[in-house]
A and B are shown apart, each in its own frame.
Chain A
Amino acid sequence: MNRRPLVNHTGSVLIFGATSAIATDVARRFASGGATLFLVGRSEEKLSALRDDLLVRGAARVETAVADLTEIESHERVVEAAKQALGTLDQVLVAYGVLGDQRASETSVETTLRDWQVNATSTIALLTLLANELERQRFGTLAVISSVAGDRGRQSNYVYGAAKAALSAFLSGLRARLSKAGVHVVTIKPGMVDTPMTAQMKKGPLFASPARVGQDIHQAMLRGRDVVYSPWYWRGVMLVIRLIPEPVFKRLPL
């Protein structure tokens, strides 16, 4: 852990779900190193507020595109626009997602599938497109925010967890495939983070700040790491949780 932090990436950065609290922090780190950024989000106003912030912090240039990423038809247009704006896709981060309402999902197929569409289906669709771009380019880093929740389905949020599990499995296969083309695929598994996504949850000592997680993601992207837990101790926590035998696990109030 005593490796010196890498800071300067003056190349291009493409972020999906850029207005997320975690992605914002990552974007700021790239911006202060002088990067050029392309931000994808749902709201023009939010993207423009973020763009101003990144320019003040030192970004060379910031461009934005509005898209609801559950509309898979929008993906090609957005990726094309990003390529036009950036030239090459050096660093790509896919950060969008929804926590969803587990209880509501239990009684509504529609809710379950809607959230699944955000966290799994549409993300996997987007990744398929991005993977081919990067493979053709033969370099670059593709980082995706999954979650520790994908490491084992728990009764309190298995709909979300299952989508993130699908994502993690998809990424692990994709990493092996793209490694041959010199492309890094980074799976990021944050624990609980104090962001608008968890605004309703009581905050305890297990919550990390977006800055803490953002720093881990930024470093992992620059280093081209494989699977990163953030903060690091979640790796141990999840190892223990995965080791609990199912007959015991099903009785735990997790």
Chain B
Amino acid sequence: MKRTVSQPPTKAYESWGRYPRVEPCGVIPLDWRDELPDFGALGASVLPYGYGRSYGDSCLNKNGILLDASGLRRFIAFDDETGVLRCEAGVRLDDILSLVVPRGWFLPVSPGTKFVSVGGAIANDIHGKNHHQGGTWGRHVRRFELVRSNGERLICSAEENAELYRATIGGLGLTGLITSAEIQLKPIKSAFIDEEQIRFESLDEFMELAQESVDDFEYTVAWIDCFVEEGRYIRGHFMRGNHREAPDRPEDAKRALPLVVPFNLPGGILLNQYTVRAFNTVYYHRQVAKRVRKTIHYEPFFYPLDTIHNWNKIYGDAGFLQYQCVVPVENDNAAIKEILSRIRRSGEGSFFTVFKTFGEIASPGMLSFPRPGVTLALDFAYRGTSTLDLLESLDAVVRASGGAVYPAKDARMSAESFHTFFPAWDEFSEYIDPCFSSSFIRRVNGEDTL
């Protein structure tokens, strides 16, 4: 039965940061890719919704309709020989991993959680710890089907409907509904990662580590402590790794068992400045040696947070914001230093501050966020205008540096910032489907205030 009307939401459709809290006027659960509603006849704008793992408002559509793509969760074809996987857009990355890892294949790009959909991964053109070698997710998407509100079903690839292909990768769900996609996976010999962790005590040391790891390590990322005293800039742990070359042995299966069963946090445990600071100090000192090598299963290496299902609720009802920016590496890293110093002075800071360098590999996506430079991601509990003012002041630094802020994690950047960060907007906007819209895009075009 083809649905022609939306229904009131029967569960919470939030973003990961739980800020802002805005309600759609209706939801349409999509269960079959040949049974789609007529998007143009619903009387309100529509926006695809995957699993709400975006932090801000890019997956929200206040007073509009959400197309819940989680019912489009079927595989279509998988070729063991070539590693080409075809699946529906609501398939989650963890579905893919459980299917392909035992057959010797892996995701071409892994974000920090495996609970995201293939459609969401395309729409945000996500990146992972291997950006310097593999580029973004979009580079590994061979083709996808896009359904537009005029009823057209288009196969998009670098050759066919190439402009829509480029617009949809990183296109924030605005160019139409992706129903299925074809992804090129990468071969692996083992489910384990040979990992090395190195303590560093300055930004220069971090930059050197990043530089020396580019060729020899597929995955690199660093965690930093924002609370170290003024003048020291940073200290942290640099993590780098490669898929293990030796094939897995039967006894490895035991080690692969998850140590922690995914669980929900009990209510009432909340974060504050003191717990964050204590956590950072303990985390930094947990590793005494300068350099530690170990072999770990891919799950804890890539998705350490996935064992706590609702960790985002730790910030309480007000929710939180994540701030992720990238700034070019130049001028003695003045921009990064200024950003860190502004955060430090504000006294607001985060549990996990992630640091990484992006490489030169360009994405096909018009509006993609990653570009060469250093990227920094951290969480801020939402405390009203003080938080918003701080983040705006960070944007100013990013604007001046020629960098960008990641829309997938944003709930507040100004229209001016957005258009400075994404000069391809004018080209992109021609491909927006007239019936598709989001809270994010209305905000950064000054059409809607919260």
Contact = CB atoms under 8 A, between A and B. Distances in A.
A45 interface: yes
A200 B76 contact: no
Contacts of A52: 74-77
B76 A196 contact: no
A56 B77 contact: yes
A216 interface: no
Contacts of A57: 75, 99
A53 B10 contact: no
Interface string A11-43: 000000000010000000000000000000000
Nearest to A196: B31
A109 interface: no
A11 B11 CA distance: 39
A201 B31 contact: no
Interface in B1-28: 7, 10-11
Interface residues on B, range: 10 to 19
A164 B76 CA distance: 35
Contacts, number: 39
B10 A199 contact: yes
A196 B10 CA distance: 12
A138 interface: no
A57 B76 CA distance: 10
Nearest to B103: A58
Interface of A is mostly: helix
B399 interface: no
A149 to B, nearest CB: 19
A201 B10 contact: yes
Nearest to A58: B99
Contacts of B284: none
Given A57-B99, A199-B7, A200-B7, A50 B74 contact: yes
Interface string A194-216: 00100111110000000000000
Contacts of B277: none
B442 interface: no
Interface string B316-351: 000000000000000000000000000000000000
Contacts of B88: 49
A201 B8 CA distance: 10
27 contacts: A21-B31, A45-B32, A45-B34, A46-B32, A46-B34, A49-B32, A49-B33, A49-B34, A49-B74, A49-B76, A49-B88, A50-B74, A52-B74, A52-B75, A52-B76, A53-B75, A53-B76, A56-B75, A56-B76, A56-B99, A57-B99, A196-B29, A199-B10, A200-B10, A202-B10, A202-B11, A203-B10
Interface of A: 21, 45-46, 49-50, 52-53, 56-57, 196, 199-203
